[in-house]
Structure 1
């Protein structure tokens, strides 16, 4: 089982977004039969089997083992991953294009760039899994509390200058055997979770 699987097929994405099937995927992090799942989700076993066949057909679950119970063979299924990410490739025809209107201060451009990040890293993860190799990545995820909009703007300007300087120091266009890496730096207001109530404050 993979830690994360990337869904690139539109039909598979549609299957995974069905609420019942999504629940079954979550349950199948641990192997289980249709009869066991039926008791957990409160559906008839035949209905669960119907959903399991759809999930299996699109490679979201797989056979873990078969058990004989009298004259019946019980199929025990498991999810192919602990979690799933739907790649923008699944919606290729309407996926956002970062090259359409580049704007460092546009939230929509940030979304387009982020979608490209999910697409590219998703493909790398899939390729690395097949090759049994790791992907060379690095991530920073943190928070900064600004006293004012002016401080935020100053921080963004200084961050851009620092990144540009650092990239210029290490970028080598002529390096034999060198590998190009994509660098994305983003900043957006913190989005409250369910335990926080100041949703409107995000936009201040």
Structure 2
């Protein structure tokens, strides 16, 4: 089982959107038969079996074995991941978005960075929720105002010069690795003309 899987196509998202299927995926964090899941969810076995088959059809669960229950042989299923995150790309039906990403490398990097942060946050949340781990994390958000390209370039240069010594100082040490991300982008809020840098650890 993967820790986190991304849902990046509309058919899979539609299959995932049914409330009972979300509950079934939660129950299938460990291998189980539809009958066992049905008892745990207090739902009819045939109903659960149908939804398990639909989840298997789109690749959200997989058959992992079987076991004998009396005179019957039950199939065992397991979710393909402990947690699922929905990629924003699933809603991008207009090819102009894909074209814009291809034309603007920095924007594509921003989108990919956001997706990686989403996956990392979901994984850390699971460790806190299911393993009882205290997650050492931080997020720093600030706002600056930059008048044009020259100021944006100067800001980034000065920022990198300022944090560079810290990254070199702590980058070579022993210990648990942490990821530090700087994202600089125009504030997309309606009517806003600011540029918002974000540093997340």
Q: Normalising TM by the smaller chain, what interval?
A: 0.5 to 0.7
State the shift of 1:91 in Å.
1.5
- CA distance in 2 between counterparts of 1:83 and 1:12 reads 14
Q: 1:95, 1:119 → 2: CA distance?
A: 19
Classify the secondary structure of the residue corresponding to 1:156: coil
Deviations 1:16-53 (CA, angstroms, capped at 9, x unpaired):
12110001111111111111111111111000000000
The answer to whether residue 85 in structure 2 is matched with residue 85 in structure 1 is yes
Q: Name the CA shift for 1:119/1:97 in 2 (closer, same or farther; >3 Å).
A: farther
Q: Which residue of 2 aligns with 1:165?
A: 158
Counterpart in the other structure of 1:142: 138
Q: Residue 184 of structure 1 aligns to a residue in which SS?
A: strand
Residues 78/162 of structure 1: CA separation in 2 closer, same or farther (3 Å cut): same
Query: What's the CA shift for 1:83?
Result: 0.2
Name 1:184's counterpart in structure 2: 183
1:156 aligns with 2:120: no
Alignment of 1:1-204 (within 5 A): 1-93=1-93, 117-119=113-115, 142=138, 156-157=143-144, 163-167=156-160, 184-185=183-184
Corresponding residue for residue 171 of structure 2: none
Q: TM-score, normalising length from structure 1?
A: 0.54
Residues 98 and 113, structure 1, Cα contact 8 Å, conserved in 2: no
Q: Is the 8 A contact 1:63 1:78 kept in 2?
A: yes
Q: CA RMSD in A?
A: 4.2
Distance 1:94 1:116, change over 3 A: farther
Change (3 A) 1:95 1:26: farther
**Structure 1 SS opposite 2:6:** strand
Task: In structure 1, list runs of 5 or more residues that go unmatched.
Answer: 101-111, 124-139, 145-151, 171-181, 189-204
Query: Matched residue of 2:74: which SS?
Result: strand
Q: In the superposition, relative to structure 1, how do residues 167 and 61 fare at CA in structure 2: closer, same or farther (>3 Å)? A: same
Q: 1:166 to 1:157 in 2, by over 3 A?
A: same
Unpaired stretches in structure 2, ≥5 consecutive residues = 101-107, 120-135, 146-151, 164-180, 188-201
Q: Which residue of 2 aligns with 1:126?
A: none
